[in-house]
Amino acid sequence: MADQGTPEQPRAESKSRVPQGKRARWTLGRALAQVAVVILVIVALFPFVFMLRVAFSSARDYLSGIKVLSAPLTFENFTEVYSSTELGRYLFNSLLYSILTTLIVLVIGSMAGFGLSKARNALVRDNVMFFVLSTRMGPPVVFAVPLFLLMTNLLLVDTRVGMILVYTFYNLAFAIWLMYGFFREVPPEIEEAGLLDGLSPLSVFRRISLPLVVPGLMATGILVFIFTWNEFFYALVLTRDVAKTFPAMVPQFFGAFRVEWGQMLAASTMGIIPPLVFGLLIRKYLVRGLSLGSVR
């Protein structure tokens, strides 16, 4: 709207406002589009803002309808949830699994991605890639029963080692698929030059190719971190208490007769900080990651 206040500005000024350089006029269509964008942002962010608002207000306020939006701020839900639950431990577990899984998956996944990107036999390569991807397409619920029984027999249910194993499997296919795409973008001439300088193929991988895909490696790592942090189903089925993660604790706030909304959303507020911070950090790569590298 401020645009209308300065209708006779010189050209140089208008360039910063309208990217194409020509000054657009406020037609009805344009005004509606502008309103639509504002509504879009509100719809996209409202649940997030609402969660924060409830987390920072007292039970009396968040159960009193829309007055909650202007209620006084309080930390009581946070102190309550820390004293009455094991939130700290669950957050620690989530952090531990996310970091270790990310490291393991990056090492194994970049090796496999590099190897596959160099495979000459298209038939073999495509079949391996297809097999790798099918592990990602298979619904976790299908593997829940065998994994549960397997881990029960190996005494790995509700252990941290067991969860890291499961999460490595859960993310590996995705990481390979993405790293494969990043390695294919490395110019072959640079790698050939390394070979001519007397490096072995594995040294070329370590000293030349890998440093060149560091941005891709970071993006893949952060996505693996977020996926592991957000994973709920395996944590629900394979943990009880010791190895429980942050998402797996959320259902415990829903009692049969009473729901601790404030505490639940206070815990959630703590729990969404890592994925939110990391996700916004790699926003350039997020789409590529979520579309398995098929959109650049």
Partner 1 sequence: MRLSKRHYLILLGPTLLILFAMLAFPTAYVFSISLRDYKLTDPTAGNPFVGLENYKTLLSDPEFFSALWRSVLFTVGSVALTFVVGMAIALLLNRRDIRGTGLTRTAILVPLILTPLVIGATYRFMLDRDNGIINEFLALVGLQRIPFLADPAWAMTSVILVDVWQWTPFAVLVLLAGLESLPVEPFEAARMDGASRWGEFWYITLPLLAPVIAVVLLIRTMDAFREFDKIFIMTGGGPGIATQTLPIFLYRSGFQDFDMGFSAATGVVMLIIVTVVSSFYVRRIHSAGE
Contact status: 78 vs partner 1 (CB under 8 A):
no
Residue 225 and residue 94 in contact, taking contact as beta carbons nearer than 8 Å = no
Cβ distance to partner 1 smaller for residue 1 or 12: 1
> 27-66 mask for partner 1 (x: CB under 8 A)?
---x--xx-xxx-xx-xxx-xx-xx--x-------xx-xx
Give the integer Cα–Cα distance in Å for 73 and 71.
Answer: 6
Concatenated DSSP letters of 203-244: HHIIIIIHHHTHHHHHHHHHHHHHHHHH--HHHHHH-SSTT-
Only one residue has tokens 């590529």, namely 288
Contact status: 79 vs partner 1 (CB under 8 A):
no
Give the integer Cα–Cα distance in Å for 201 and 242.
Answer: 44
- For residue 248, which amino acid is it? A
The interface with partner 1 within residues 187-226 (CB under 8 A) comprises 188, 191-192, 195, 201-202, 204-205, 226
Cβ distance to partner 1 smaller for residue 89 or 184: 184
The interface with partner 1 within residues 222-281 (CB under 8 A) comprises 226, 229-230, 232-233, 236-237, 246-247, 250-251, 253-254, 259, 261, 264-265, 268, 271-272, 275-276, 279-280
- For residue 98, which amino acid is it? S
Contact status: 155 vs partner 1 (CB under 8 A):
no
Contact status: 164 vs partner 1 (CB under 8 A):
no
Contact status: 172 vs partner 1 (CB under 8 A):
yes
Q: Residue 254 forms beta bridges with which residues?
A: 259
Contact status: 82 vs partner 1 (CB under 8 A):
no
